[in-house]
């Protein structure tokens, strides 16, 4: 069985890689969109915190012997708390200034984190083993599906949908959406908006760390893993528009798949295809696929 002269297993294999990358893109751009909604800043440190998440999982295992499953919960909590400290100490003073300052500050943070981990762990990266319970895979007849990769896609989807439900269907989510629309008015109703902002930042950052733990067994745990992915995620965010939670999730998966398919048909272009899509979207629909017209 072949598809455009390309053997089906190869095709499906790249599609799978695309879906996995898409899962990371989706979780990361979801966090960016949440943070942007309430803080009005683009969190440049998002990629670095994704990397820190992976490293926390690695260190928990390496030093304390804590395995994958507890790390999947612990690492996001640790990084989320770190994010709360960052928000309170560094981002809060910038709240009333031009949004570009937030971007510059978080860029500086990203450099700091990346430089610090590079200083101690080099650039070669550390291995993180797939947990025993997720070893092996299924033979689907036309391809071999490793269990861990299936788990990554499922876990990302679950987290994305849960976050979406949280924002759209719960009272807390309704308050958050209201605060995005008009923070002052919500505050006048007695809601502690600054606390909401802090929690949102912590939660967005925890999402990044969660993606980092998921990624740890697939890619090596590497100080540079964050900066490589964040620029792609930025392009995806430009394509999808930061205003929409659903847009962030859908465009994340969509562009991951798009990248995977390009790797089948024209491998050299797979690195740049997302940027090309971004350029086309900017020409055809400058506000982004899911964005409201400015």
Partner 1 sequence: MSQSNAHSSGELSHLADEESERRTPLIADLRLWAVIGIVALLIAPHFIYPVMIAKVLCFALFAAAFNLLLGFAGLLSFGHAAFFGFSAYVTGYCLQSLGFSAELGILAGTATGALLGLLIGALAIRRQGIYFAMITLALSQMVYFVCLQAPFTGGEDGLQGVPRQPLFGVIDMTRNINVYYLVLAIFCFGIFIIYRAVHSPFGQVLKSIRENEDRAISLGYDADRYKLLAFVLSATLAGLAGSTKVMIFQLASLTDVQWQMSGEVVLMAVLGGIGTMLGPILGATIIITLQNELAQIGSLTTIVQGAVFVVCVLLFRRGIVGELSHRWNRWRGRSDGRGGDAPRTVQES
| Residue 90 binding partner 1, by CB under 8 A | yes
Question: Does residue 265 belong to the site contacting partner 1 (CB under 8 A)?
Answer: no
Using CB under 8 A, pick the residue from 104, 130, 145, 261 that binds partner 1.
104
Residue 99, interface with partner 1 (CB under 8 A)? yes
100 binds partner 1 (CB under 8 A): yes
* The one segment of 18-26, 172-180, 202-210, 272-280 that binds partner 1 by CB under 8 A: 272-280
Q: Say whether residue 42 binds partner 1 (CB under 8 A).
A: yes
CB 236 within 8 A of CB 29: yes
Ranges within 200-239 binding partner 1 (CB under 8 A): 227, 231-232, 234-235, 237-238
In the bound state with partner 1, the residue whose beta carbon lies nearer, of 155 and 272, is: 272
Q: Shortest distance, CB of residue 136 to partner 1, whole angstroms?
A: 35
Decide: is 112 part of the binding site for partner 1 (CB under 8 A): yes
H runs (alpha helix) in the chain: 8-39, 46-59, 68-86, 99-121, 147-169, 171-181, 183-188, 193-215, 225-240, 245-265, 273-284
Among 5, 119, 171, 190, binds partner 1 (CB under 8 A): 119
Out of 74, 191, 261, 272, which residue is the one contacting partner 1 (CB under 8 A)? Answer: 272
Residue identified by tokens 């770190």 is 82
What string of DSSP letters covers 217-285? Answer: TTS-B-TTHHHHHHHHHHHHHHHH-TT-HHHHHHHHHHHHHHHHHHHHH-GGGTTTHHHHHHHHHHHH-
Find how far residue 228's CA is from the centre of its chain. Answer: 12
User: Which candidate, 182, 201, 187, places its Cα nearest to that of 91?
Assistant: 201
Closer Cβ to partner 1, 100 or 129, answer by number? 100
Q: Rounded to the nearest 10 degrees, what angle do helices 68-86 and 193-215 cross at?
A: 140
Nearest-Å Rg of the Cα atoms of the chain is 19
Of the two residues 101 and 164, which places its CB atom closer to partner 1 in the complex? 101
User: Least CB distance from residue 105 to partner 1, whole Å?
Assistant: 4
Does residue 261 interact with partner 1 by CB under 8 A?
Answer: no
């Amino acid at each position: 069985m072949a598809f455009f002269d390309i053997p089906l297993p190869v095709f499906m294999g790249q599609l799978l890689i695309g879906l996995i990358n898409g899962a990371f893109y989706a979780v990361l751009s979801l966090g960016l969109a949440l943070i942007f909604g309430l803080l009005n800043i683009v969190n440049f440190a998002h990629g670095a915190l994704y990397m820190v998440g992976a490293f926390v999982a690695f260190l928990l295992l390496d030093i304390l012997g804590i395995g994958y499953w507890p790390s999947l919960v612990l690492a996001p909590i640790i990084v989320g708390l770190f994010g709360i400290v960052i928000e309170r100490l560094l981002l809060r003073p910038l709240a009333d200034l031009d949004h570009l300052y937030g971007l510059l500050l978080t860029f500086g943070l990203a450099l700091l984190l990346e430089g610090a981990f590079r200083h101690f762990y080099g650039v070669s990266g550390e291995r993180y083993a797939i947990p025993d319970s997720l070893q092996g895979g299924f033979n689907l007849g036309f391809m071999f599906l490793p269990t861990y990769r299936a788990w990554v896609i499922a876990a990302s989807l679950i987290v994305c949908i849960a976050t979406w439900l949280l924002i759209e269907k719960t009272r807390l989510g309704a308050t958050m959406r209201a605060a995005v629309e008009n923070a002052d008015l919500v505050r006048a109703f007695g809601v502690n908006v600054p606390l909401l902002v802090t929690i949102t930042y912590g939660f967005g950052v925890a999402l990044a760390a969660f993606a980092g733990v998921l990624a740890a067994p697939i890619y090596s745990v590497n100080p540079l893993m964050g900066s490589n992915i964040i620029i792609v995620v930025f392009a995806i965010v430009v394509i999808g528009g930061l205003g929409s939670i659903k847009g962030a999730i859908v465009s994340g998966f969509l562009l991951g798949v798009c990248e995977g398919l390009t790797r089948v048909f024209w491998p050299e272009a797979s690195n740049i295809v997302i940027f090309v899509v971004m350029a086309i979207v900017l020409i055809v629909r400058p506000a982004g696929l899911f964005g409201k017209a400015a």
